[in-house]
Amino acid sequence: MPLKVRIRRSRILIAVATAVAVALILALTVTTYDHTSPRAARGKASGSVAGNVDCRKAKCVALTFDGGPSLTTPKLLDILKQEDLHATFFVQGKGHIEKYPEILRRISREGHEIGNHTWYHEVLTDIDADDARQELTRTQSAIEKITGTRPILMRPPEGRTNRDVAKICRDLGLAQVLWSVTAKDYETTDSALITKRVLDQTHRDGIILLHDLHKGTVPAVPGIIKALKQRGYTIVTVSQLLAPAKPQPGMVYRP
């Protein structure tokens, strides 16, 4: 092979290797954070599980709702009460907690798990650290004032997080919860389609994301519950899905 060709090829290989190295460095700097799956978290934990559901043995899936409380939430609570089920509600401040405190009290009173979904639903990776911290602390305080309990779980808007967000969550005692199932119920009012999307994506140890404030969602819930039960699933909260592991502040949990 001619010398010039060998030199040119070497330069190309060096350039490619450099580009890959830079990309990896940027990825590690910008996007990496500590994360684990519910199954992995359980596998590292020991001890007994409180209550009558042990997801180490049962075929579990967590049911979660974002963006409430809203005027449609009471109907959802009626459904869950009738089915003797509990869900995790990641509630939002502006226009929700502040507007419907009695509904939030009912969520808490009926034994559902409450998580933090920020105050204004700002994407936390797009704002500075002080504003991101305020998005969470304001919501924490409001939830605690209304229910008497301070959340230990949060869900970042759009699921977007990074090292800085993780540090803030660690400081505030909040574990981050993502999802494996989304019906994209914010883009459709078709309850049958919402049901199909959930069932098509659901697997053991999954986390289902729905929004109780959208028109087609709550009507879809009875059918979703019925079908999941027929498929052998036990429907639980996020903390039940993780048990006997305890949610770790700052950690991202994603199936």
User: Which residues are tagged catalytic?
Assistant: 66, 211
Q: What angle do CA 38, 40, 43 make, to 5 degrees?
A: 110
**Numbers of helices and strands, H then E, in the chain:** 9, 10
CA distances from 47 to 38, 43, 181, 229, 230 (A): 16, 11, 29, 27, 30
Please identify which residue in the block is written with the tokens 């770790």: 248
Q: What angle do CA 83, 89, 95 make, to 5 degrees?
A: 125
Please identify which residue in the block is written with the tokens 């903390």: 239
Q: Which two tokens stand for residue 34?
A: 């500590």
What long-range pairs does 194-199 form, CB within 8 A, spacing at least 24?
194/220, 194/224, 195/220, 195/223, 195/224, 195/227, 198/224, 199/224, 199/227, 199/228, 199/231
Q: Which two tokens stand for residue 52?
A: 């009558």
